[in-house]
Amino acid sequence: MALEDETPRLGCGRRIDDLWEVIDQPLNPHEKSCPDCQQARVALYNLASVTEAMRQHDPGQAALQPSGRVKETIMMVARAEVRRGRRIQLARTEAGTIHISAHALAALARFAADTLTGVRARRCSIDPFTPAARTGDAVVESSDIRITLKVAVSSALSIPPTMEALRERVIAVVSAQVALNSRQIDVIVEDLYDV
């Protein structure tokens, strides 16, 4: 391995890297009189042009894409392994209790945020307030959860009014499904994006 890491040099002692850096430039005085450099230059110049052609050529080739079956398999595995997270209890009825998964509730919060122009929902976590519930039962009461939604916001927008509108929107959409109060929802701007 040590050998491989040594800097390769031409017969004249020059590093191949150094010659590669100036491959597009005219010959310098040393190169004009050095047969090693001249020979290497021709070979490296040819390599550079074929490399460039390959770099341009490969991405557009249908033959250099995996078949559709590959993506089908990947998505099949992903769908089978979707993590639904803990369940949040919404209501008790005579017939039993009604739950929503944390995964579905997070998707709802992200959807709500996406309805506002200039806001892009990122990660959304749903955690119980009470520490005991974090490790214990997989089912928590809806009054015991906190939703933390992270977003990226367009740099063209003013953040405070946007956040206010966002909180209202998320509360409106989510509370149509789950009884929540506003202190249960945190919205964090983690990034700005350029329009």
For another protein, the binding residues (CB under 8 A) are 4-8, 15-17, 20, 40, 43-44, 46-47, 50-51, 53-61, 63-67, 69-71, 73-75, 77-79, 81-83, 103, 106-107, 110, 120-125, 150, 152, 191, 193
Q: Which is nearer to another protein, 99 or 122 (CB)?
A: 122
Please state the closest distance from residue 30 (CB atom) to another protein, in A.
Answer: 18
Please state the closest distance from residue 173 (CB atom) to another protein, in A.
Answer: 17
Q: Which is nearer to another protein, 75 or 91 (CB)?
A: 75
- C-alpha 87/C-alpha 102 separation (Å) is 6
Please state the closest distance from residue 4 (CB atom) to another protein, in A.
Answer: 6
Please state the closest distance from residue 92 (CB atom) to another protein, in A.
Answer: 27
Specify whether the CB–CB gap between 116 and 166 falls below 8 A: yes
Q: Which is nearer to another protein, 27 or 50 (CB)?
A: 50
The residues, ordered by sequence, that sit 6+ positions from 38 with a Cβ below 8 Å of its Cβ are: 27, 31
Q: Which is nearer to another protein, 60 or 96 (CB)?
A: 60
Q: Taking Cα atoms as reference points, which of 94, 85, 81, 124 lies closest to residue 106?
A: 124
The residues, ordered by sequence, that sit 6+ positions from 64 with a Cβ below 8 Å of its Cβ are: 58
Structure-token pair, residue 125? 């976590």
Q: Which is nearer to another protein, 54 or 95 (CB)?
A: 54
